[in-house]
A and B are shown apart, each in its own frame.
Chain A
Amino acid sequence: MTPEDTVSVSGDIPKNADISGIDVCSHPKRFISRIRIEDRAKLILMAAVVFTVAVLFFIIIFISYNSLDAVKEIGIWEFLTGGTWSPGSGAYGASSLIVGTFLVTGGSILFALPVGLGMAIYINDVASPRVRNILKPACELFAGIPSVVYGFIGLAVMVPFLMDVFPAHLNYGTSWLAGSLLLGIMALPIIISVSQDSLEAVPGSYREASMALGATKWETTRKVVLRSAVSGIAAAVILGIGRALGETMAVMMVTGNSALIPEPLWNIFDMVRTLTASIALEMPEAVHGSLHFSALFMLALILMVIVLLVNTVARRMVRRTKIKMGTEKAADVRRRRLFAPLSESHKEMAKTAAVYALVFAPAFMISSLFIGTYGGIAIGALAAAGLPVSKRISRAIGPNRVQSTVYLMLGITVAAVLAVLAVFLGVIAVNGLPAISPEFIFSPPSNSGLSGGIWPAVIGTIELAAGTALISFPLGVCSGIYLSQYAGDTRLIRLARQAIDSLNGTPSIIFGLFGMSLLVIAFGWGYSLVGGCITLSLMVLPTIIKTTEEAVSAVPKDLTEASAAMGASKWHTVSKVLLPASMGGVITGFILSIGRAIGETAPIMFTAAVAFRTTSSFSLLDPIMALPYHLYYLASEVPGSTANQYGTALVLMMIVIVLFAAASVIRYRYRKKTGW
């Protein structure tokens, strides 16, 4: 392609045509070619979006197609409501798995929301700027610990600990409680960082107004700031729920996996089994094309529907609260009229009743597990009675002391959570460091992984990262640019956005199943590097799109207008002004995504990863070793390889943490340089 081609009217214009050489003012003759470049650029960007949206539909089609047999032979209703899951005896009733999924997820949010919100409030209100600057990135680092590492530590440290605490109630240690706690800990970082962002975004003028009325900082936070930040906090909860619903490896390792509905329903000491765990447990043993195989795809389909439903409902709720906060819509006026007969005092009474119920219910549920129903009622009533007492006490000691008490409690919470996370990190570091040596890192495993090193797994992980980056970066960035700069608010675009959001919430194991059914089976590639890269790319694509879109949209409008006012074309403005200005944000999101991708186990265990591979020849179609899968394999199949397990976990974690730290640094520098 010669440079002349770039500007000729009839010539073929390369898609990466450099138009920087075209002076926008003094070459009127080249007007037409500029228009053509404009069109092509737009077309390419749009193609990326279309591709991404198509992926979602392909996933749904493939998962549905593969579950057809189960639908035909078992029937949807029987499948959903049947109580027994025992594929060996031909019983495919998924109700206990569905309930288990909800219970584990719900439990984790019940734990993570108050703790996470408390920590966010602490970071926002109490922590000094210096402490805040340590806590925030620390939280993000914890978000980067791979789930298989969490599961590994959960089984090795948390489960025995829980058994010591509840010796009479936990026969096996592995339980709903363990699963929810572990998932809660895993969901904490995202809940903390997203809700703290939204607390921070509450206009300072609300705070001032409240303080000027004589409210303390805590009263202000509780009554004004939290209310204003409610949609952001809801978004944090949705993200947390999404993560918990789709979590596979960690949950599978600590919940005990018994396909039963707890008795009573709130018995947190019972074992449960989630949809994801069932898939990961049984898929390896299911013969392709068998009824069992199809039934597992059906589970995946159910999981996907649940995730889509939760996302949609939650998004609606967020939008509704936003509307309520802003200007009134006709619907709100109607609702207001509807509730008009309810006087203020009735509303207050209803509110109070709700609060009492909220205190009574959990107190009853928890204590009844220990001391029976009547004892539970007594304790619940006692807890509810504590409400007015605590109100009276707080009035007696005055708002200032209430504030210091609350902040002290928040501080203790923060310290406790940090301690738990420190234990997680400490256990890995203390046990992993002795294992690490140049030989460990640079030699292949031997003796089934009992000795030797992890070099092929390190290489495999790097290959996966590079391949995923090569595929996802151009696609994601192009789609992001299109959505932020070219897309209008048409019905089609809204649909596309919804598809991308849904893809974002899709559990990673679903991508694994998709990759398996399409690439491994239908294309006949078998387990392969390229299959793993494609699967991981699809998984991270929506995140990259969203962060790109946000970063590009965050560039102040004046810049775009200034460029346009000088006669620059849109593409010229995008490529020469917007992209450079938003590069920091784009790169940060990209690195975070890659960090997440290389820690994943579920998507590659069905598409790319093998336990051993000593040969060093290279082909895209060869299977690979990868650190997270290697860790999972050692932990599950090679008892006695403890030292190597910790060593692998430490290396994997360090790679991810280095990537996350790099992202933090880039973001920090970038925020410092640009004003927005």
Chain B
Amino acid sequence: MENKTTILIAVLVTAAVCIAGSYAAFSGTGNDNQNVSITVTGSTTVQPLMVEFQEEFEQHSNMIINVTGGGSGAGVSSAQNGTADIGMLSRDLKSSETGLIPVVIARDGVVILTDKNAGITNMTLEQLAKIYSGEYTNWSQVGGSNLPINPIIREEGSGTRDCIDTLMATVSGFNTDKFNRYSTQASTGAMLTQVKNVSGAIGYVNLGSLSEIGGSVSAVSVGGVKATPESVLDGTYELSRNLILVTKGDPDDNTAFFLNWILSKQGQAIVEEEGFVPIGPTA
């Protein structure tokens, strides 16, 4: 038969895929004495932190932690409908989001980034709000060089955006009418790339990304205060928010054990390592 070789190859390929798949699938079933698993879903800002918790925690307990991203919205709904044991939020709960019990695990600051060529090292919250409202369109209007301002924002629902929008809204005259004209980026990484590429750009990322800022991008002080873990903790830096975990009703024993561990010295040390602001003492 002429087609035998072809069929043989095909069968081999299929078999290889299946075997590899099942090998991969079952290779890890040896340590199956870990039978308690906790699923954590939500904010992509909290996610890297949670992954560090997971790595450390799993070494000290027999529990498995599954971490999923998906955003703060997914965190709320997964916790509400029970697909996740814990929801992660990079913002506070809204009044409409009921039935959930929040635990603040860390604080985070929102760092304002600009193109270095803008020649700005400091701005007030009012100036920031007016830039995003579209009232100021040139850096010279806020004491910088003569360069058009190109604001960049995060997507609707982003915790980072939520934080900065809420604070800017306290400035009278602030509006979001021009937001549709700004470049909208879906993530911290994309935001950083954009601010790096765009001349006269202004954007924002969370405090954890502070170490990535450099080159043609500079971090700007707000109201004369630099964004640092210290300034966020003592409240002198205005642009800050809570990172919270939510559970549906009171957490069960295992979940509570995990949450308590996060609030322990050990857990809070990880918070600090990751560039967030711990809310309790660290080891």
Judge A-B direct contact (beta carbons within 8 Å): yes
B17 touching A292 by the CB < 8 A rule?
no
Q: Which residues of A contact B192 (CB under 8 A)?
A: 639
B10 touching A587 by the CB < 8 A rule?
yes
Q: Which residues of B contact A163 (CB under 8 A)?
A: 197-198
Among B69, B77, B84, B192: residue with most chain A CB under 10 A: B69
Q: Which residues of B contact A140 (CB under 8 A)?
A: none
B21 touching A467 by the CB < 8 A rule?
yes
Q: Which residues of A contact B157 (CB under 8 A)?
A: 87-88, 282, 284-286, 292
B211 within 8 A of A: yes
Scan A151-163; emit 1 where CB is below 8 A from any B CB, else 0: 0000110011001
Scan A513-543; emit 1 where CB is below 8 A from any B CB, else 0: 0000000110011110000000000000000
| Alpha-carbon distance between A155 and B67 when the two chains are bound, in angstroms | 27
| Alpha-carbon distance between A429 and B231 when the two chains are bound, in angstroms | 43
| Alpha-carbon distance between A218 and B172 when the two chains are bound, in angstroms | 68
Among A155, A173, A449, A637: residue with most chain B CB under 10 A: A637
A273 within 8 A of B: yes
A669 within 8 A of B: yes
Q: Which residues of B contact A636 (CB under 8 A)?
A: 44, 186-190
* 8 Å CB interface, A595-644 against B: 610-618, 622-623, 633-640
Q: Which residues of B contact A674 (CB under 8 A)?
A: 2-3
Q: Which residues of B contact A120 (CB under 8 A)?
A: none
Q: Which residues of A contact B84 (CB under 8 A)?
A: 526
Nearest A-chain residue to B193, judged by Cβ = A155
A258 touching B197 by the CB < 8 A rule?
no
| Alpha-carbon distance between A618 and B29 when the two chains are bound, in angstroms | 6
Of the candidates B6, B44, B156, which one forms a contact with A666 in the assembled complex, judged by CB atoms under 8 Å apart? B6
Q: How many residues on chain A are close to B (CB under 8 Å)? A: 92
From residue B143, how far is it (CB to closest CB) to chain A in Å?
Answer: 21
From residue B146, how far is it (CB to closest CB) to chain A in Å?
Answer: 15
B189 touching A637 by the CB < 8 A rule?
yes
B190 touching A253 by the CB < 8 A rule?
yes
Scan B178-204; emit 1 where CB is below 8 A from any A CB, else 0: 011111111111101110011111000
A591 touching B44 by the CB < 8 A rule?
no
Among B7, B80, B97, B211: residue with most chain A CB under 10 A: B7
Q: Which residues of A contact B135 (CB under 8 A)?
A: none
Scan A249-286; emit 1 where CB is below 8 A from any B CB, else 0: 00011001111100000000001010000001111111
* 8 Å CB interface, B106-162 against A: 148, 150, 152, 155-158
| Alpha-carbon distance between A587 and B44 when the two chains are bound, in angstroms | 40
B18 within 8 A of A: yes
A466 touching B188 by the CB < 8 A rule?
no
Among B34, B58, B180: residue with most chain A CB under 10 A: B180
B39 within 8 A of A: yes
B18 touching A260 by the CB < 8 A rule?
no
Among A8-16, A361-369, A432-440, A578-586, which stretch is in contact with chain B? A578-586
B183 touching A637 by the CB < 8 A rule?
no
B20 touching A462 by the CB < 8 A rule?
yes
| Alpha-carbon distance between A469 and B16 when the two chains are bound, in angstroms | 12
| Alpha-carbon distance between A612 and B2 when the two chains are bound, in angstroms | 47
Among B46-54, B222-230, B257-265, which stretch is in contact with chain A? B46-54
B3 touching A583 by the CB < 8 A rule?
yes
B95 within 8 A of A: no
A284 touching B212 by the CB < 8 A rule?
no
From residue B202, how far is it (CB to closest CB) to chain A in Å?
Answer: 12
Given contacts A612-B51, A638-B189, contact A583 B155 (CB under 8 A): no
B64 touching A284 by the CB < 8 A rule?
no
| Alpha-carbon distance between A455 and B18 when the two chains are bound, in angstroms | 17
From residue A208, how far is it (CB to closest CB) to chain B in Å?
Answer: 33
Q: How many residues on chain B are close to A (CB under 8 Å)? A: 88
B55 touching A469 by the CB < 8 A rule?
no
B212 touching A639 by the CB < 8 A rule?
yes
A633 touching B69 by the CB < 8 A rule?
yes
B83 within 8 A of A: yes
Among B5, B34, B155: residue with most chain A CB under 10 A: B155
A448 touching B51 by the CB < 8 A rule?
yes
A285 touching B72 by the CB < 8 A rule?
yes
Q: Which residues of B contact A520 (CB under 8 A)?
A: 83
| Alpha-carbon distance between A588 and B52 when the two chains are bound, in angstroms | 43
| Alpha-carbon distance between A580 and B4 when the two chains are bound, in angstroms | 8
Nearest A-chain residue to B45, judged by Cβ = A637
A84 within 8 A of B: yes
| Alpha-carbon distance between A280 and B188 when the two chains are bound, in angstroms | 15
Given contacts A155-B190, A469-B18, A670-B6, contact A273 B184 (CB under 8 A): yes
| Alpha-carbon distance between A466 and B19 when the two chains are bound, in angstroms | 9
A463 touching B25 by the CB < 8 A rule?
yes
| Alpha-carbon distance between A675 and B51 when the two chains are bound, in angstroms | 57
A580 touching B1 by the CB < 8 A rule?
yes
B17 touching A613 by the CB < 8 A rule?
no
Q: Which residues of A contact B20 (CB under 8 A)?
A: 462, 466
A108 within 8 A of B: no
Q: Which residues of A contact B148 (CB under 8 A)?
A: 171
A172 touching B152 by the CB < 8 A rule?
yes
B10 touching A666 by the CB < 8 A rule?
yes
Q: Which residues of B contact A287 (CB under 8 A)?
A: 73, 76-77, 80, 97
B278 within 8 A of A: no
| Alpha-carbon distance between A462 and B26 when the two chains are bound, in angstroms | 13
Given contacts A285-B157, A614-B58, A622-B66, contact A258 B176 (CB under 8 A): no
Task: Report A's interface with B, CB cutoff 8 A.
Answer: 84-89, 96, 155-156, 159-160, 163, 167, 171-174, 252-253, 256-260, 271, 273, 280-290, 292-293, 446-449, 458-459, 462-463, 465-467, 469-470, 473, 520-521, 524-527, 580-581, 583-584, 587, 591, 594, 610-618, 622-623, 633-640, 662, 665-666, 669-670, 673-674
Top 3 nearest A-B pairs (CB, nearest first) are A285-B157, A616-B28, A466-B21
**8 A-B residue contacts at CB 8 Å?**
A174-B194, A257-B183, A284-B70, A289-B77, A594-B17, A640-B212, A662-B13, A666-B9
Task: Report B's interface with A, CB cutoff 8 A.
Answer: 1-3, 5-7, 9-10, 13-14, 17-18, 20-22, 24-29, 31-32, 34, 37, 39, 41, 44, 47-48, 51-52, 54-55, 58, 64-74, 76-78, 80-84, 97, 148, 150, 152, 155-158, 165, 176, 179-190, 192-194, 197-201, 209, 211-212, 274
